[in-house]
Amino acid sequence: MTDLQYIRKNALIYQRYKDQFDSLTPSELLQFQDEVEQAFTCVPITVKYVSGQPYANCEELTKDIQVNKVMRISTDFNDSKLLPGELNLKFRAVHDWLHYTLQAPFTAIGEIQVYKYQKKHHSVGLMQDILFSEVVLQACFCEYFGTFAAKQKLVLLNR
């Protein structure tokens, strides 16, 4: 399967599946949230939360980190049921730190690269399935359709 076929397949999955957030038990939700908190402790740089999109590409992210010793994380569209408030911003910080570390572009292919490393911060099984939905499926949808989905949802392929 080519990269474009993989992106298309995952975009269509995200489009067609129903939101499965309500299938998570409170303990499963708490476990994912705890794993995000723990992963955030591995970000070794000052993180600042800002309005707007601070970086157009990985090069701008890299320059800010190397020159200013700071990583800026957007507070825009921060209304996740899965990761409320600051927890979603911490998730973004871990994710963007991995973009910097891997020098992965802000494309679906770059998101897939980041996912492969970010999943090491999450338990095998459901927790990595949640991460796959949050990173890979959403990125593929955005790249294939040219915009983020109107409503963010959780798609669990193994449930």
pTM listed for this prediction: 0.94
If pLDDT is split at 50, 70 and 90, which confidence band does 11 have?
Answer: very high
* Tens-place pLDDT, residues 40-52: 999 999 999 999 9
* Tens-place pLDDT, residues 74-92: 999 998 999 999 999 999 9
Which of 152, 139, 15, 147 shows the shortest CA–CA distance to 81?
Answer: 152
Write down the pLDDT at residue 103.
Answer: 98
Write down the pLDDT at residue 159.
Answer: 75
- Hunting for tokens 């708490």 — which residue is that? 30
> To the nearest whole percent, how much of the chain has pLDDT over 70?
100
The contacts of residue 72 (CB under 8 Å, 6+ apart) are: 47, 48, 49, 50, 54, 55, 64
Which of 54, 46, 151, 39 shows the shortest CA–CA distance to 95?
Answer: 39
Write down the pLDDT at residue 127.
Answer: 98
* Tens-place pLDDT, residues 87-136: 999 999 999 999 999 999 999 999 999 999 999 999 999 999 999 999 99
Number of helices (H), then strands (E), belonging to the chain: the values are: 7, 2
